[in-house]
Structure 1
Amino acid sequence: MTDLATRPGPAAPQAPPPPRPGPLGRLARLAHRRRGTVVLAWIAALGLALGLTSAFGGQFTADYSAPGSDSSAAADLIEERFPGLAGTELGLVVHADSGIASVRDDVEALLREVGAAPHVAGVEDPFATPGAISADGRTLLATVRLDVDVPDDMPVADSLHIVELTRAAEAPGMQVAVGGEPVYNAERGEIGSEGIGLIAALVILLLMFGSVVAAGLPLVVAVAGLAVSSALTRALIALVDAPDWSTSLATMIGIGIGIDYVLLMVTRFREWRVAGLDPEAATVATLDTAGRSVLVAGTTVVVSMLGLFGMGLSFMRGAALVTILGVVVVVTASLTLFPALLGYLGRHVDRLRLPLRRSAPAAGHRVEGRPGRGWQRWSAQVQRHRVLATVAGVGILLAFAAPFLGVRFGFPDAGNGQEHMSTRQAHDLVADGFGPGANGPLVLAVDLAGADGEAALAALGGALPDVPGIAAVTPPRVDATGRAALLTVVPETGPQEAATEDLVHRLREDLPQTLAGTGAEVHVGGATAASLDSTANTASRLPLLIVSVVALSMLLLLVAFRSVAVAVQAAVMNLLSVAASYGVVALVLQGGWAGRLVGIDTETPLPAFVPVLMFAVLFGLSMDYEVFLVSRMREGWVRTGDSALAVTEGLAATARVITAAAAIMIAVFAAFVPSPDIVLKVIGIGMAAAILLDATVVRLLLLPAAMHLLGRATWWMPRTLERVLPELAVEGRPTDHLPAQGAAAVPAPPAAAAPVPAPR
């Protein structure tokens, strides 16, 4: 008889195996376990990038001309028929209170010294050149020809040497200055303030986490990504043309998003540790949830930058490629190097805490991603006053955008530089001695091939003096073959004035009629005409950029969050925040009290490519905060089915992280405001203002208020689209990573209802 005590009973229920993590979770596990290999791989990548730069590194070049424009045709004709005039030149200006004749010996001695300087091909004798001495005899302008084809090829040290020669020649009653793009490039120094941005970011991270280890992780990952991408940039520009400021733009964005992305993941990692996961499991869970948000956010930035390719401008394509390279490298570092570093530091993430901070949170205590009472109260107030919050948010953004209605487009010149710069002094001396139009002369390039050259030039000589707005016209210079001629037209007004633009249009309309019957063609060129053409060309392409970037971003958000309302409101609110940043830029460029705060003391035009560039960058960066916030809201919606609770708790749970991330991004961009380069200064101002407005007015006020107004409709999507579009599940599956002891450890905000499937 079988003993009942020994009879086998029913098998004990076996716990189901833990769900397999997604691709990012598996990547995190691999990087965590093979951390040494991953770190060595990044060191090897840096060495390879430096090797490629050393072997194939190129130089920055940028063509701001408008392809197919009249000024571009003039430049091509000059390069073909007058190759000696197509090189780089400097303008050396001397002003003597007692007259140039009284200091002629000193001027000739200075010209001999400058002529002997490195890379100087020759100096035009101003005493033998008609029009080189002003009508009052007190100002002289000498042309210094360089042996470099483009300004960027002139070594900085040699440009500064010429500036030093002019400074040494000054005497009481005698002012000397030299202008030109090579001198401007040398005087402004190195572009960029990466160190200031990193220091500011470190302070914010320390205040956020209270731990040196936790604060250091985002910095290490961002700097590693920046080092590799910066080294690769030199190799990239050997293949494509890119402006020198593109590296600063890529640095701004790379540092900002690198720190922000890892900040989000460090926060989530600490939540999972508090929930009871060991370091490896917490790393996998972090990449399987927050890592998805990082990947989607980085993709939106890349998509936005790809929109610049539709502009058809070579320098825009180059700047976009340099920036995309930086973003891709930084995102890769966030998804590989970060989990590898957690393999070493995961157990010690709260070590080296600041003495003024509380000790590391124990299980069950609030951590960064969990809602604090202050943010819970704020979130509840937004829900309660959602109509007022929506109206107030839109009103604030429109008020900031208003100054952009009066913006003046154009390219800043030496007259907008700082007063201590030699280029600014040379500009002012030329304007005082020869008139404001002398700083932006127009060049008439006449194609005489197959034409009656004498009749054409005679017709021009008779017509130009009668054109309103012209101060002077130089005699025509004919090439050796007699197939082309050049005339220099000096306007009565400065290059940035509306009257000068009217003169360019007038010449282009009237001169072809003047030459009718001669067989000659005339093109109006020069720096001023090229600036006008580039501005018009860029402005005409802006609608295409806006439509393409907005459409692609909406499609990405539609796939990520499976909600029509989320995609539409993100596009509308991002457009509002970008418009508000444009208004801030327009305000400081007016040169009033706001401009003086940032070092702009004269009214300055806005290059048309700057708002284009800002739109592409800011639309992508704004999506970062959209993804961070809405992914947490969708997480609550999928779990509870309560839209109001999901929005309120999602805002409360992410507000602190978004605020810290925005503060870091603002600090990084603001560090570039002191730059003497007007373009870089304006970009820094605009982006800092946009991030501030986006992270406060939009993400913490307008967006949750609008979602509360829509209610459950926020998460609606047609069934047809549901079946067609793939599901990214950007919020991940947090419950898959919970420890066995139950749902109490869920790091997401606690729900009031049992989990339900997301309503369709």
Structure 2
Amino acid sequence: MVGLWLLLLVVAVGLGTTLNGKLTTEFTVPGIESQQAQDLLRKEFPAAAGGTARVVFEAPSGRQLTSDAAREAIAASLKQAAGVPGVVTVSDPSKSGTLSRDRTIGYADVGFGKPPTDIPQSAKDKLSDALDPARDAGLRVELGGSVSTPATEVGGPAEIVGVVIAFAVLAVALGSLVAAGLPLITALVGVGIGVLGVEFVSRFVEMTNTATILALMIGLAVGIDYALFIVSRHREQLAEPDSDVRDSIARATATAGSAVTFAGITVVVALAALSAAGIPFLTVMGLAAAATVLIAVLVALTLVPATLSFLGERLRPRPGKSRPGRRDRTPGAWGLAWGRTVTRAPVVVLVVSVVGLLALALPARGLRLGLPSNETQPTASTQHKSYELLAKGFGPGFNATLIMVVDGSDVPAAQRQGLVKEVGTALRADRDVATVAPPMATKDGSITVLGVVPKTGPDATATTDLVHRMRDDATRPVDRAGGTAYVAGATAGAIDISAKLSGALPLFIAIIVVLALILLMIAFRSLLVPLKAVLGFLLSIAASLGAVVWVFQYGHLSGLFQVAAAAPVVSFLPVLLIGVLFGLAMDYEVFLVSRMREHFKHTGSAAEAVTHGVARSGRVVAAAALIMAAVFGGFIFNHDPIIKSIGFALTFGVLIDAFVVRMTVVPAVMALLGRYAWALPKWLDRVMPDVDIEGASLPPRPAAETPQGAGTGGGRAV
């Protein structure tokens, strides 16, 4: 089994590194107005399909770009830029008039003949080197545009620290360095196969760069957690002196492994349900992460038991030495104490927890969605600096330039010019429009493009309102004439994608809620337990979104989390957060409540079952949550604003759901419900499948035949 997984890893490395595809940084949604306009422009203006690097120049203090020295330096730089492989057009600020009023800031557009994703890094580096004459002349030079979008990278110090923290948590939770290393190694094997497999699939399917990062984040976190659950159960059983190693491995796989299977399938289904939004890039992200989670489940069920058999007796806990006057600490003592504390005053605990979660959720009322602009890139990056220079020289709306596309193919040729003039007049009359660029048309005049610069930035509410007014009012003359008008551009595209995702959110939440009710009803044969789990999940989501809005949209603690600028929340983050956090929340629900149900079935005592479940699973669930938080938390300090916000949302969501909802609210509610928690109508009990995730149907555990047999794996396995 170990050899099989290593072979799969070698194959994945070969395919993922040599036959991988190209990842894109663009988020496109077929069918939305801005995308229709973009497709039309690429057809009629092929040059528009190529990537563009916007070179921004700023003169030193007290000087202007119109001075002879500055003009010569800029001309020399642009001449060298024209010689970069792939460059087809280069504009000159002094000739095109792209200078600020005070002549201190200007920009030149360097156009490539290929889309941004097809432009090699070597060409980008040569372009940057070509601008050295301007730098040597004392000019400040920054780069923006689609070509300069930085690649998303992982494996930095923050991510490594996250893995180190995860290892430390594993060592404390399992009480063994050998046992702590096993989940890390098996998780890395699984996530390596998953992520490299996704890289290979990107050769055939268009995929954003965030898809592989999400697969890495989720795959690594659940891979460690799933192995932890099985290893922890195995060591718990080995703590009994007469236990047999092979039998313990089989029973750990039959009990904790069954829970891993159920929880993993829940995560896979939740991530696959992202396709319900009807947005291709989100569907691909969900399926990529789901495939990695599925591999993590298979690794936990096969590679982990195989590795446990190699370790044999080395994983058996050593009996602690008794010290005079010191009371021996029983396993699960702190969990038992916590469970008793919660169940001693369940009403108070429940009220305080729910009120606290609702308070955290309050900022979510002002949630605004969008896509990150260069303003949200790290403050030290050239992309962020170019954004600031353009806003300084040409106004904040220059970075939010909109494109009005007038399709007059069905309009008589004699009327087209007058129609475009009427549209331009209507646009200039709008209170939020700064300037309207002269129209550009195709040779036959059927398609005309007008650039519209708003007075406000891309993330401002006024800019969103302007887009809606342009579509409602400025397009009326075109509609009356029988033509079609579109509003496009990056800002309009972000608005359209956000609206599309907002519309899909209610359906997605409904699918998740129904899915949770059905799966948990099958798992626990109860009506109230699934209902409680879903309500707790919704509280976790609300609190997490509130925290994301408070930090990223309102700008609080921006220095701590290195947030470059307050901006709307990434448009697909709520859907992604719901899908991922649902799966992880159900993980903790299954592992915690399954131990409660196991004890209830054996003893019939509902009150004892609650404290027993927290005592037995509390430590493992807490460790699993801390591990996930450590892994996700490492991505908070990634330079990419999308990865940063996703990492923060998942970190906060996991901690809130595990420690407040599952470890506090769930025991309090279960204590209040008592035996009613396990009630199920007889007719429903008859039609539902019987899923034994607690291993109640296993035969009695046999003792080891001999000490030698236990050490070598001898004895009967289940």
Alignment TM class, shorter chain as reference: over 0.9
For 1:49 and 1:525, locate their aligned partners in 2 and report how far apart those are by CA, in whole Å: 40
Alpha-carbon distance between aligned partners in 2 of 1:290 and 1:527, rounded to the nearest angstrom: 48
Deviations 1:701-746 (A, max 9, x none): 10000011111110011111111110111111276242369xxxxx
1:622 is aligned to: 585
Whether the 8 Å CA contact 1:463–1:514 is kept in 2: the answer is no
Instruction: Give me the whole-angstrom Cα distance separating, in 1, the residues matched to 2:594 and 2:126.
Output: 57
User: How do 1:687-726 and structure 2 match up within 5 A?
Assistant: 687-726=650-689
Q: What is the identity, as a one-letter code, of the residue corresponding to 1:226?
A: V
Q: Please tell me whether the aligned partners of residues 199 and 212 of structure 2 are also in contact (alpha carbons under 8 angstroms).
A: no
TM-score, with length taken from structure 2: 0.92
Match of 2:707 in 1: none
SS at structure 2 position matched to 1:132: coil
CA contact (8 A) 2:551 2:558 kept: yes
Shift of 1:121: 2.5
Q: CA deviation at 1:303?
A: 1.4
* Map 1:150-229 → 2, pairs under 5 A: 151-166=116-131, 169-170=134-135, 174-186=139-151, 189-190=153-154, 194-229=159-194
Amino acid at match of 2:65: I
| 2:92 counterpart (114, 125, 133) | 125
Q: Which amino acid is the alignment partner of residue 409 of structure 1? A: L
Residues 489-500 of structure 1 correspond to what in structure 2 (within 5 A)? 489-500=452-463
Q: Is the 8 A contact 1:473 1:490 kept in 2?
A: yes
Identity of matched residues, %: 37
How far did residue 433 of structure 1 move?
0.9
| 1:534-592 CA distance string (max 9 Å, x none) | 11111010011111012112211111111111111111101111111111111111454
Q: Bigger radius of gyration, 1 or 2?
A: 1
SS in 2 for 1:319: helix
The residue that corresponds to 2:366 in the other structure is: 406
Rate the CA distance shift 1:423–1:215 in 2: closer, same or farther, 3 A.
same
Q: How does 1:412-423 map to 2 (within 5 A)?
A: 412-423=372-383
Cα 1:590–1:467 shift into 2, 3 Å = closer
Q: Return the alpha-carbon distance in structure 1 between the equivalents of residues 600 and 361 of structure 2.
A: 34
CA distance in 1, matches of 2:548, 2:511: 24
Residue 109 (structure 2) pairs with residue 109 (structure 1): no
Aligned pair 1:39/2:11, yes or no? no
SS of 2:674's partner is helix
Task: Please give the per-residue CA displacement for 1:685-704, whole angstroms capped at 9, x wherever unaligned.
Answer: 11111111111111221000
Q: Which residue of 2 aligns with 1:651?
A: 614
Partner residue in 2 for 1:138: 104
Deviations 1:324-347 (A, max 9, x none): 111011110100001111121021
Select which of 527, 531, 537 maps to 2:490.
527
Q: Is the 8 A contact 2:379 2:564 kept in 1?
A: no
1:294-342 CA deviation, whole Å, 9 max, x = no partner?
0011011011112101000010111011101110111101000011111
Which consecutive residues of structure 2, in runs of 5 or more, have no partner in the other structure?
A: 705-718
SS of corresponding position for 2:292: helix
* Structure 1 residues 591 and 114: alpha-carbon distance in aligned structure 2, compared to 1, 3 A threshold: farther
Gap runs ≥5 in structure 1: 1-37, 742-760
**AA aligned opposite 1:425:** K
- Cα distance in 2, alignment partners of residues 655 and 450 from structure 1: 69
Question: Is 2:567 aligned against 1:635?
Answer: no
Q: Which runs of structure 2 are paired with 1:586-597 in the superposition (5 Å)?
A: 586-590=549-553, 592-597=555-560
Counterpart CA distance in 1 for 2:279 and 2:460 is 25
Q: CA deviation at 1:140?
A: 1.2
Between the aligned partners of 2:188 and 2:329, the Cα distance in structure 1 is 26
The answer for the alignment partner of 1:371 in structure 2 is 332
Query: Which residue pairs with 2:262 in the alignment?
Result: 296
Cα distance in 2 for residues equivalent to 1:253 and 1:517: 51
Q: Is the CA contact (8 Å cut-off) linking 2:375 and 2:564 kept in structure 1? A: no
Q: Residues of 2 paired with 1:671 and 1:167: CA distance?
A: 36
Note the 1:253-402 alignment, pairs <5 A. Answer: 253-275=218-240, 276-350=242-316, 370-372=331-333, 374-402=334-362
Question: Could you tell me which residue of structure 2 aligns to residue 675 of structure 1?
Answer: 638
Structure 2 Cα separation of the partners of residues 407 and 54 of structure 1 = 40
Deviates more, 1:114-123 or 1:649-658: 114-123
Matched, 1:450 2:419: no
**Is structure 2 residue 575 aligned with structure 1 residue 612?**
yes
1:53 is displaced (CA, Å) by: 3.3
Q: Is the 8 A contact 2:406 2:478 kept in 1?
A: no
Higher mean alpha-carbon deviation, 556-565 vs 45-54, is at 45-54
Q: Which amino acid aligns with 1:263?
A: L
Determine the structure 1 residue equivalent to 2:696.
Answer: 733
**Corresponding letter in the other structure for 1:681:** K
* 1:57-107 per-position Cα deviation (integer Å, ceiling 9, x unaligned): 322236523432221221121011111112111111111142111110011
Question: How far 1:273 sits from its partner (Å)?
Answer: 1.6
The separation in 1 between residues aligned to 2:239 and 2:410, in whole angstroms, is 84
Q: 1:87 aligned to 32, 50, 59, which one?
A: 50
Residues 211-250 of structure 1 aligned to structure 2 (within 5 Å):
211-250=176-215
Contact 2:541 2:578 in 1 (8 A): yes
Q: Go from structure 1 to structure 2 and tell me whether the alpha carbon gap of 1:157 and 1:425 turns closer, same or farther (over 3 Å shift).
A: same
Give me the TM-score of the superposition, normalised by structure 1: 0.87
> Is the CA contact 2:77–2:132 (under 8 Å) kept in the aligned structure 1?
no
Whether the 8 Å contact between 1:87 and 1:145 is mirrored in structure 2 is yes
What are the within-5 Å matches in structure 2 for residues 443-592 of structure 1?
A: 443-451=403-411, 452-590=415-553, 592=555
Contact 2:49 2:114 in 1 (8 A): no
Matched residue, 1:49: 12
CA contact (8 A) 2:277 2:504 kept: yes
Runs of 4+ more than 6 Å apart: 365-368
CA contact (8 A) 2:269 2:290 kept: no
Q: CA 1:422 to 1:61, structure 2 compared with 1: closer, same or farther past 3 Å?
A: closer
Alignment RMSD (CA, Å) = 2.3
Distance change (3 Å), C-alpha of 1:395 and 1:385: same
> In 2, are the aligned partners of 1:191 and 1:245 still within 8 Å (CA)?
no
Separation in 1 of the partners of 2:281 and 2:340?
Answer: 48
Contact 1:178 1:426 in 2 (8 A): yes
Q: 1:91, 1:299 → 2: CA distance? A: 46
Letter in 1 for 2:369: F
Provide the C-alpha distance between the structure 1 equivalents of 2:636 and 2:126, rounded to a whole number of angstroms.
28
Q: Pick closer, same or farther for the CA change 1:387–1:300 going to 2, 3 Å.
A: same
How many angstroms does 1:359 deviate by?
7.0
Q: Is the 8 A contact 1:559 1:725 kept in 2?
A: yes
Structure 1 738/439 Cα, relative in aligned 2: closer, same or farther at 3 Å? same
Contact kept in structure 2, 1:62 and 1:315, CA below 8 Å = no
Counterpart Cα distance in 2 of 1:531 and 1:124? 27
Q: CA deviation at 1:384?
A: 1.2
Equivalent pairs, count: 692
Q: Counterpart of 1:383 in structure 2: which amino acid?
A: T
Equivalents in 1 of 2:600, 2:64: separation in Å? Answer: 81
